[in-house]
């Protein structure tokens, strides 16, 4: 039930409505990294529903928050379903980390936004220690326990409320984080889900925020 395309794009993505899985034609990526990309996107194909969730209390929740939490969930479910993927994800993310794929080599991680650090924790946390405050750790632990799409939305909503209450000053970073993005002019509920999203530019959460971008 999938169409797989290899294209000259900067990111792997999955279109949840049209069921198109797009893989980038990277020159330097190993087969291990491609297996990681496929495993990640198939996780979205299997577990991320095609529904318009931007309504009611969730309407203000940034897309990037949902995708970071959803990524943690679908990768956990994929490793549970296909036991061999645990090694693939571990070594694939290690290779990307060694190549500084996430652009954090010269960054002060204590100054990064919480959502960036949460994303990194569930990608490279096995070999790169990432610090969280006691308040933040509660959300980190919850992200590791989410099982359903509804729990993803609820946790994303709670993270949004927590950060909005903090109202930190904007802090530019260079960290790549997963983001639920619109495709080329597509509507929000046709959203492809990217593995390599654009850079984060600020961490302040506002009433009109569509994401940290």
pLDDT at 200: 36
Residue 167, Ramachandran bin (φ over 0: left; ψ between -120 and 50: alpha; else beta): left
> What would the pLDDT profile of 102-111 be if each residue is shown by its tens digit?
888 888 888 8
pLDDT at 102: 85
Residues 65-78 as b/e (b if ≥16 CB within 10 A, e otherwise) read bbbbbbbbbbbbeb
As a whole number, the mean pLDDT across the chain is 80
Mean per-residue pLDDT, 198-209: 37
pLDDT at 181: 37
């Amino acid at each position: 039930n999938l169409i797989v395309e290899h294209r000259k794009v900067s990111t792997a993505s999955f279109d949840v409505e049209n069921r198109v899985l797009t893989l980038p034609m990277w020159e330097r990526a190993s087969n291990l990294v491609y297996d990681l990309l496929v495993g990640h996107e198939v996780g979205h194909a299997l577990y991320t529903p095609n529904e318009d969730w931007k309504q009611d209390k969730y309407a203000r929740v940034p897309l990037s928050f949902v995708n970071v939490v959803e990524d943690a969930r679908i990768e956990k479910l994929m490793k549970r379903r296909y036991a061999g993927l645990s090694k693939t994800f571990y070594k694939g993310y290690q290779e990307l980390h060694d190549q500084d794929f996430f652009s954090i080599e010269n960054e002060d991680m204590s100054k990064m936004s919480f959502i960036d650090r949460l994303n990194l924790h569930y990608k490279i946390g096995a070999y790169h220690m990432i610090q969280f405050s006691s308040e933040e750790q509660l959300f980190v632990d919850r992200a590791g326990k989410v099982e359903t799409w509804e729990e993803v939305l609820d946790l994303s909503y709670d993270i949004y409320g927590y950060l909005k209450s903090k109202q930190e000053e904007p802090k530019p970073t260079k960290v790549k984080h997963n983001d639920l993005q619109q495709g080329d002019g597509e509507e929000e509920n046709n959203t492809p889900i990217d593995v390599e999203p654009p850079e984060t530019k600020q961490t302040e959460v506002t009433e009109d925020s569509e994401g940290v971008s």
